[in-house]
């Protein structure tokens, strides 16, 4: 069913052994220890905001600066946090994930090429 030359590599790789390898376990841990907590945090923060906007009208209507109220400010903070998490993830990936993934990939592809 293969329609391209891509992704056909892998016949020479023992993926099960690789999955259990220390190097890969470490990569998985590095990945999950960032994305899972981060996903939980932003979802909680988003739904906290949604619930406030839905059920705490008085609180959201408090004026903070001129005509800008708490609701608007929290809404803009959702933008800030989204941008912030994005930037943090990129920096984390570049520093921690990419080197580990690239090392394993190079080793496996050398194996498969043999």
Partner 1 sequence: MNVLSSAILAAAPEATKVGNPWVNIGIFGLFVGITLIVVLKASSNNKTAADYYAGGRSFTGTQNGTAIAGDYLSAASFLGIVGAIAINGYDGFLYSIGFLVAWLVALLLVAELLRNTGKFTMADVLSFRLKQRPVRIAAAISTLAVCVFYLLAQMAGAGALVSLLLGIDGKLGQSLVIVVVGALMIVYVLIGGMKGTTWVQIIKACLLIAGAFIMTIMVLAAYGFNFSALLGAAVESAGTPEILNPGLQYGKSGTSKLDFISLALALVLGTAGLPHVLMRFYTVPTAKEARRSVVWAIWLIGGFYLFTLVLGYGAGAMIGAEKIKAAPGGVNSAAPLLAFELGGPLLLGLISAVAFATILAVVAGLTITAAASFAHDVYASVIAKGKSTPEKEMKVARRTVVVIGIFAIVGGIGAQGQNVAFLVALAFAVAASANLPTILYSLFWKKFTTQGAVWSMVGGLGSAILLIVFSPVMSGLPTSMIPGADFAVFPLANPGIVSIPLAFALGWLGSVLDKNTEDPVKAAEMEVRSLTGVGAEKAVDH
Q: Which residues bind to partner 1, rule: CB under 8 A?
A: 1, 3-10, 13, 15-16, 18-19, 24, 27-28, 31, 35, 38-39, 42-43, 46-47, 49-51, 53-55, 57, 60-61, 65-69, 71-72, 75, 78-79, 82-83, 85-86, 89-90, 93, 98, 101, 104-106, 108-109, 112
Gap between the Cα atoms of 40 and 81, Å rounded: 13
Ramachandran bin of 62, using left for φ above 0, alpha for ψ from -120 to 50, beta for the remaining angles:
beta
CB count within 10 Å of CB 22 equals 7
CB of 68 to partner 1, least distance (A): 6
Cα atoms found within 13 Å of the Cα of residue 106, Cβ hemisphere only: 6
Quick one: 65 or 114, whose CB is closer to partner 1? 65
């Amino acid at each position: 069913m293969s329609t391209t030359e891509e992704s056909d590599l892998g016949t020479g790789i023992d993926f099960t052994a690789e999955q259990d390898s220390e190097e890969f376990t470490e990569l998985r841990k590095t990945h999950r220890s960032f994305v899972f907590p981060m996903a939980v945090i932003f979802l909680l923060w988003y739904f906290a905001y949604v619930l406030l906007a839905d059920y705490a009208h008085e609180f959201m209507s408090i004026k903070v600066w001129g005509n800008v109220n708490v609701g608007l400010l929290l809404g803009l903070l959702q933008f800030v946090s989204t941008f912030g998490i994005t930037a943090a993830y990129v920096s984390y990936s570049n520093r921690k994930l990419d080197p580990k993934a690239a090392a394993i990939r190079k080793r496996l592809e050398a194996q498969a090429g043999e």
